[in-house]
């Protein structure tokens, strides 16, 4: 029989790290949360070293995501994808900014080709990035896949502001710890 439902979950410790009552005002606070999510994810063995979070214009947390590919047996369960899906469900809209609000995705590492594509359509207005794709590939065994040569320009032409290298060394530290651990998620 074909399955009629898809069920993905986030780890139970999420509430210990993500504070939905707090305002995350700066880019560093937002990416810092994504990095902390990635760190906890590998410390608990719940997935790969990636974290992401969606914030509204006031800096309130809308949703979070961590990499859940292996535990959920789902190749699309990347941190950004989990954050997007959770925000879309919470806001009851397939485009997060459909309500006219301004939304930001903060991520511990540059989106791979899959998450880049989702970013084009998800409905965010800004993308904040910790580590670069070359950091991910240097420090782990992940292949980030092909992106357009001017991927930043492509997003900006679609109204998505991109800011990179926010807390990059901290994000690289999590990737290095994962790469040295021998874990494979």
The confidence score (pLDDT) of residue 185 equals 64
Residue 132, both tokens: 């670069």
Inside any domain, residue 76: yes
CA gyration radius, the chain: 15
β partners of residue 55? 61, 104
Higher pLDDT, 182 or 122: 122
**Tens digit of pLDDT for each residue in 112-138?**
999 999 999 999 999 999 999 999 999
> DSSP string of 87-133?
HHHHHT-SSGGGGS---EEEEEE---HHHHHHHHHHT-SEEEEEE-H
The confidence score (pLDDT) of residue 1 equals 86
Q: What are the residues whose beta carbons fall under 8 Å from the beta carbon of 107, sequence distance 6 or more?
A: 31, 34, 50, 51, 52, 53, 79, 80, 115, 127, 128, 129, 130
Inside any domain, residue 57: yes
What share of the chain in percent tops pLDDT 70? 99
Backbone angles phi, psi at 143, to 5 degrees: -105, 115
Q: Which of 68, 62, 99 is nearest to 81 (CA)?
A: 68
Inside any domain, residue 4: no
**Tens digit of pLDDT for each residue in 56-67?**
999 999 999 999
Confidence bin at 182 (pLDDT 50/70/90): confident
Average pLDDT, integer, range 20-43: 97
Q: Which of 167, 173, 125 is nearest to 33 (CA)?
A: 167
Question: What is the Cα–Cα distance from 15 to 104, expressed in whole angstroms?
Answer: 20
Q: Which of 115, 153, 155 is nearest to 136 (CA)?
A: 115
The confidence score (pLDDT) of residue 20 equals 94
Q: Give the end-to-end CA distance of the chain in Å, rounded to a whole number.
A: 29
Instruction: Look at residue 78 and tell me whether its pLDDT is greater than 90.
Output: yes
Instruction: Look at residue 179 and tell me whether its pLDDT is greater than 80.
Output: yes
Inside any domain, residue 70: yes
Domain carrying residue 114: 14-179
* Domains in the chain, number: 1
CATH code, domain carrying 149: 3.40.140.10
Total length of the chain: 185
Inside any domain, residue 96: yes
Inside any domain, residue 131: yes
Q: Which of 147, 97, 139 is nearest to 122 (CA)?
A: 97
Inside any domain, residue 137: yes
Inside any domain, residue 8: no
Residue 141, both tokens: 């065994």
3-state secondary structure of 156: helix
The confidence score (pLDDT) of residue 183 equals 74
């Amino acid at each position: 029989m074909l399955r009629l439902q898809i069920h993905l979950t986030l780890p139970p410790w999420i509430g210990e790290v993500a504070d939905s009552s707090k305002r995350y005002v700066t880019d560093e606070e937002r990416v810092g949360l994504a990095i902390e999510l990635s760190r906890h994810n590998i410390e608990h063995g719940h997935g790969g070293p990636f974290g992401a979070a969606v914030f509204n214009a006031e800096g309130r947390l809308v949703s979070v995501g961590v990499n859940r590919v292996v535990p959920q047996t789902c190749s699309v369960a990347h941190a950004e994808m989990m954050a997007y899906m959770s925000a879309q469900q919470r806001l009851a809209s397939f485009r997060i900014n459909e309500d006219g609000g301004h939304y930001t995705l903060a991520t511990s590492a540059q989106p791979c080709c899959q998450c880049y594509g989702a970013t084009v359509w998800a409905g965010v207005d800004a993308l904040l990035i910790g580590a670069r794709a070359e950091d991910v590939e240097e420090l782990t065994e992940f292949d980030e896949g092909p992106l357009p040569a001017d991927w930043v320009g492509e997003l900006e032409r679609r109204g998505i502001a991109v800011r990179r290298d926010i807390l990059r060394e901290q994000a690289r530290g999590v990737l290095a710890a994962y790469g040295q651990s021998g874990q494979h998620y």
